[in-house]
Amino acid sequence: MTTTTKTLAAGTVIPRPAKKQNDLNGIRLARERRTMTAMVRIFCRDKHGARAGLCCECEAFLAYADVRLERCRFGEAKPTCANCPVHCYQRERREQARDVMRYAGPRMLWEHPVMSLRHWLDGFRKAPQL
């Protein structure tokens, strides 16, 4: 883990640890990332008409979601966001995620049935104690 520094007014430099970053290549977080990506693609395709890739708004949201996954305090033990005691999304982004999941969730059954089933099973995962 690298450190960042903070400089005080008097010129004193205080080292502090960098924010924890999770490896998105881990099994659980990679699956969560693929699921979120699939949901955003379905939402963007149907709501914004994007056929090749994502619109700018959805691309920005997905980048934000990736950052939140990288910094999730639970790491590989992460529960689904609906069962998480920590709300790490900003209020507007949380509402955007809710809209995406509300729309794309049922459609995931037809387009990605295995991914949908795994996400449903992950919903039974309990959040670790803080």
- Distances from the Cα of 84 to the Cα of 5, 36, 100, 103, angstroms: 31, 16, 18, 20
Q: How confident is the model at residue 1 (pLDDT cuts 50, 70, 90)?
A: very low
**Residue written as tokens 């992950």?**
122
Cβ pair 86, 35 in contact under 8 A: no
Q: Can you give the pTM of this predicted structure?
A: 0.79
Is a pLDDT exceeding 70 seen at residue 15?
A: no
Which of 5-9, 46-50, 89-93 is predicted with the least confidence, judged by mean pLDDT? 5-9
pLDDT digits (tens, 9 = 90+) for 26-40: 888 899 999 999 999
